Amino acid sequence: MARTLDAQPRKKSMPVLSRFSGLPKYLNPVLRPLARWVPPLAVLHHRGRRSGTWFDTPVQAFRTKTGFIVGLAYNANANWALNLLAGDGGEISRRGRRYTVSRPRKRGAEARADLPAPIGFTMRKLGIDDFLEFDATRI
């Protein structure tokens, strides 16, 4: 049985974008080169929990006191999030800097309070209720 972030069945994390779940397949190759340099975009480097292959996934990462927080926009059980949780970390590149990711943990809608107000408001309106927060140390 595949590991999920939640033991109970849940509604889709983001009804608005869940209809476009195939979009990252086309959008990620375009965003990946930009994401290393243009905040709030960032690139998460994570190892596949089954294949062991390294993947680079563009995300919107927002700074916290100890690291970053990322909204699970398309799916509460996104593969990149499960990979970080299973491997207990990875790396993230943002604004030309690289960080080691540690202590990944899932958070619910209360995590919006740790985001800049306009971002938290937008995520609430779009129905993003699931987040992944992790500590980060600059390499």
User: What pLDDT score does 74 carry?
Assistant: 79
pLDDT digits (tens, 9 = 90+) for 39-80: 899 999 999 999 999 999 999 999 999 999 999 987 888 899
Residue 30 belongs to domain with CATH number: 2.30.110.10
Classify residue 1: in a domain, yes or no: no
pLDDT digits (tens, 9 = 90+) for 87-121: 867 999 999 999 999 999 999 999 999 999 999 99
Classify residue 8: in a domain, yes or no: no
User: What pLDDT score does 75 carry?
Assistant: 82
State the sign of the Cα–Cα–Cα–Cα dihedral 16, 106, 113, 24. Answer: negative
The single-letter code of the amino acid at 69 is I
Split into its structural domains, the chain has a count of 1
User: What pLDDT score does 91 carry?
Assistant: 96
Q: Tell me how crowded residue 134 is: count the other CB atoms within 10 A of its CB.
A: 26
User: What pLDDT score does 8 carry?
Assistant: 46
Classify residue 9: in a domain, yes or no: no
| Residue 24: band (very low, low, confident or very high) from pLDDT cuts 50, 70, 90 | low
Residue whose token pair is 């926009």: 73
Length of the chain: 139
Classify residue 2: in a domain, yes or no: no
pTM comes to 0.78
**In terms of Cα–Cα distance, which of 55, 54, 59, 53 is closest to 36?**
59
The domain of 23 spans: 15-138
Cis peptide before 29, with omega less than 30 degrees from 0?
A: no
| Residue 16: band (very low, low, confident or very high) from pLDDT cuts 50, 70, 90 | low
Classify residue 6: in a domain, yes or no: no
User: What pLDDT score does 111 carry?
Assistant: 96
Classify residue 62: in a domain, yes or no: yes
Q: Looking at beta carbons, which pairs linking 76-80 to residues 24 or more positions away fall under 8 Å?
A: 76/5, 76/6, 76/10, 76/12, 76/13, 76/129, 76/130, 77/4, 77/5, 77/6, 79/48, 80/44, 80/46, 80/55
| Residue 18: band (very low, low, confident or very high) from pLDDT cuts 50, 70, 90 | low
